[in-house]
Structure 1
Amino acid sequence: MSGPVLARRGFLSGAAGLAVALTLAACGDGGAGTADPAGGASPAARSWTFTDDRGKKLEQPKVPGRIVAQVGSAAALWDFGVRPIAVFGPHKLKDGSKDPQVGNVDITKVTGLGNVWDEFNVEQYIGLQPDLLVSSMYVKDTLWYVPEKSKETIEQVAPSVGVMLTGKSATEVIGTYEALAKSLGADMRGVPEAKARMEAATKELAAFGNLKILMVSGGADAFWIVNPPEYPDIVHLKDAGLNVVTPAKVDEGGFFQTLSWENADTYEADVILYDTRTQALKPEEMMKKPTFAKLPAVEAGQLYPWNAEAPYSYQGYAAFLEGLVANLKKAKPLT
């Protein structure tokens, strides 16, 4: 993985360099693109305040307009009507098409600051003159996809909002993004209808409580069993009545249990939901592993996609849950 342009060019070696860069940026024409939190008119000339999940109270004399967001945050905010000017994190596939993690964001209308882990073009970020950076957090006080080596520089450019994921339900996380979007002047177009769809699909999940469900992610040399309490989407599924397997022993950090492919049959399940993110093995690749291929759920064709990073919006979760309900209707108990 290549580092940000800042590191490659030796730019901004310290605070003095940062001050020079900010001065130069302020003399420019406003950088690439504009922000439009309401999807139309500019934000009202009013003061803005928001307290994020770090307990940090942010206050600005006017509503932030030029917003940069990690792709998950960008996808959530976009569905509420906020239009970031730039994104970082997986947003573009090798063929140039959109990565599913970026949701409904129009990637032709935003600047990409980095597409893989540890990649963040700090020089370009400074040039955009952002008012606000938004990212989710799996670990408190650690913004997802903000590189540790560039963190101090990035944090000096603009204030940031952190939205905690671990230990929360999807409805709580969506509520935080909804509150943030409202504070930024979002129009909420389509939100009530999407919320109704999400609630309806959530109610339908209760009918599948008789199915034992295993949620997994596959790698070249490892098979990961996901630990439900650490993921907002799985907390939501369990709260709705689904029987999701909890691994007996989780790795340090608590997010999953790592198994060898030889031990892929450690847990029984009627249904397996597999991670669809680009870094995870596809079903046809996993089925080349003999132990996995012989699992009852796999042999029965009860192997369904799990959108592990569905946008934290009512639109994102309505689509995710409706698809899951449709698949679970095809499944039957096996164990």
Structure 2
Amino acid sequence: MPKPRTSSLTRRGLIAAGGALGLVAVLSACGSTDAAKDGTGKDTAAASASAPAGPWSFKDDLDKDVTVKSTPKNIVAFTGTAAALNDYGVKVKGVFGPTKTADGKPDVQAGSLDISKVEILGNVYDEFNVEKYAALQPDLLVTNTWDGSYWYVPEASKDKILKLAPAAAISVGGNATLDKALERTADLAKSLGADMSSKSTVDAKARFEAASAKVREATKANPGIKVLVGSGSAELFYVSTPKTSADLKYFEQLGVEFVTPDKVEGGFFESLSWENAGKYKADLVLLDNRTGTLQPEQLKAKPTWAELPAVKAGQITPRVTEPIYSYDRCAQILEDLAKAIQNAKKVG
């Protein structure tokens, strides 16, 4: 379970908390030639087979030139980033971040990863086993960045962790949009040996572009649909601003009309007591799908949730709050969004 929200949590910690919204909340390549599954479920050649020889370098989104003597083989990554690399055929040795649920099944952020074949260094926010990390003899640590920090790398042990191997970060906040985050993740995968000209990858990118067009078409064909991005916890209902996270900014570029909260906390969302959950009217709710957030069945116990016009109309669709940044995964997100907007009726 994600770390519970408390007033003493940092903005960054609250983002990681399970009910955080929109970001959202309170502000390997392992050198073998085994096949890996991509986001479509197809086999792709192991990325290491095409990894370039000699020194490896990558300029990351923290504007750092990350260098290693040779293409990294012992890679450790944030779970969602590892899942994206896995879709491109790049394997990792270890992961940190939401990886398995309480019943041992893969977390939604694990994507196509075989979680039985990676070392899980931490499964919740602020958990990272430094000793296990060192034992993996890491060549490279990879994660995302929202605000210039390394996502899910604990502040308390950050210095120890970053001394053990170079780190690279891909931006999914700030000025980043979904398409840019996808491009940068693909750049990283290519540098680690992924074949970006493979049929599966080329098809996935084409699917993403077609899905983007579908969202544009849906917003034009069904104008005026107001979308609220929400996340539920036991005590609070969070309404995200579309102005911060990469996915929502990209959706807005495609014509999606969002509810924008007027009291944004830390640049990410407004938290409402359940008594005030109906403050904003909307025709469609995108509901945080992360482990640890309340889902529709659980939310039925909240009377004010049940009274929301979009809920009464059954116009709720999951929001993949922390996307796996591979083209195939994000194409599916856009296809689902286009369908939800196309089918929505004005009720707010």
**TM-score normalised by L of structure 1:** 0.87
The correspondence for 1:196, drawn from 206, 209, 214, is 206
Which position in structure 2 is the counterpart of 1:249? 263
SS across alignment from 1:329: helix
Q: Within 2, Cα distance between the matches of 1:44 and 1:171?
A: 26
Is 1:163–2:142 an aligned residue pair? no
Equivalent residue, structure 2, for 1:182 = 190
Q: Equivalent residue of 1:192, what SS?
A: helix
Any stretches of 5+ residues in structure 2 without a counterpart?
A: 4-27, 34-45
Cα shift readout 1:154-196 (whole Å, capped 9, x = no counterpart) = 0110000011211210001111111111111112341111111
The question of 1:150 aligning with 2:157 is answered yes
Residues 172 and 42 from structure 1, CA distance in 2 versus in 1: closer, same or farther, beyond 3 angstroms?
closer
Matched residues in 1 for 2:260 and 2:207: separation? 28
The answer to whether the 8 Å contact 1:67/1:85 transfers is yes
The percentage of counterpart residues that share the same residue type is: 45
Q: 1:287 aligns with which of 288, 297, 300?
A: 300
Match among 314, 322, 326 for residue 335 of structure 2: 322
- 8 Å Cα contact 2:56/2:67 also seen in 1: yes
Q: Distance in 2 between matches of 1:180 and 1:248?
A: 37
Q: Is the 8 A contact 1:36 1:43 kept in 2?
A: no
| Per-residue deviation, residues 54-113 of structure 1 (Å, max 9, x unmatched) | 111122221111110001211121122211111110010111111011111121221111
Query: Is the 1:274–1:306 Cα contact (8 Å) retained in structure 2?
Result: yes
2:68 match: 60
The residue identity in structure 2 corresponding to 1:147 is: P
Cα distance change of structure 1 residues 327 and 234 upon mapping to structure 2, 3 Å threshold: same
Per the alignment, do residues 35 and 102 of structure 1 end up closer, same or farther by CA in structure 2, a change over 3 Å counting? Answer: farther
Is the contact between residue 36 and residue 66 of structure 1 (CA under 8 Å) also seen in structure 2?
no
Deviations 1:292-321 (A, max 9, x none): 111111111111111111211101101111
Contact 2:230 2:287 in 1 (8 A): yes
1:75 corresponds in structure 2 to: 83
SS of 1:49 mapped into structure 2 = strand
Q: Where do residues 173-322 of structure 1 align in structure 2 (5 Å cutoff)?
A: 173-188=181-196, 189=198, 190-206=200-216, 207-208=218-219, 209-251=223-265, 253-322=266-335
Change (3 A) 1:50 1:310: same
Q: What SS is found at the alignment partner of 2:227?
A: strand
Contact 1:103 1:310 in 2 (8 A): no
Question: What one-letter code is carried by the residue in structure 1 that aligns with 2:117?
Answer: K
Measure, in 2, the Cα distance between the counterparts of 1:33 and 1:327: 37
Q: Which runs of 5+ in 1 are unaligned?
A: 4-31
Distance 1:33 1:184, change over 3 A: closer
What letter matches 2:257 in structure 1? N
After alignment, is 183-192 or 270-279 more displaced?
Answer: 183-192
Task: Please tell me whether the aligned partners of residues 74 and 92 of structure 2 are also in contact (alpha carbons under 8 angstroms).
Answer: yes
Superposed CA offset, 1:195-224 (max 9, x none): 111111111112234211001000010100
- Contact kept, 8 Å, 1:36 with 1:42, in 2: the verdict is no
Alignment of 1:22-37 (within 5 A): 34-36=30-32
The Cα of 1:40 is off from its aligned counterpart by 5.3
Q: How many residues align?
A: 305
Matched residue, 1:46: 54
Q: Is the 8 A contact 2:68 2:166 kept in 1?
A: no
Q: What is the rounded CA distance, in whole Å, between the counterparts of 1:202 and 1:2 in structure 2?
A: 31
Instruction: Give the distance between the partners of 1:249 and 1:327, measured in 2 at CA.
Output: 27
1:42 offset after TM fit, Å?
7.1
Higher RCO (Cα < 8 Å, 6 or more apart): 2
CA contact (8 A) 1:2 1:119 kept: no
Question: C-alpha root-mean-square deviation of aligned residues, in Å?
Answer: 2.0
Q: Residue 125 of structure 1: SS of its match in structure 2?
A: helix
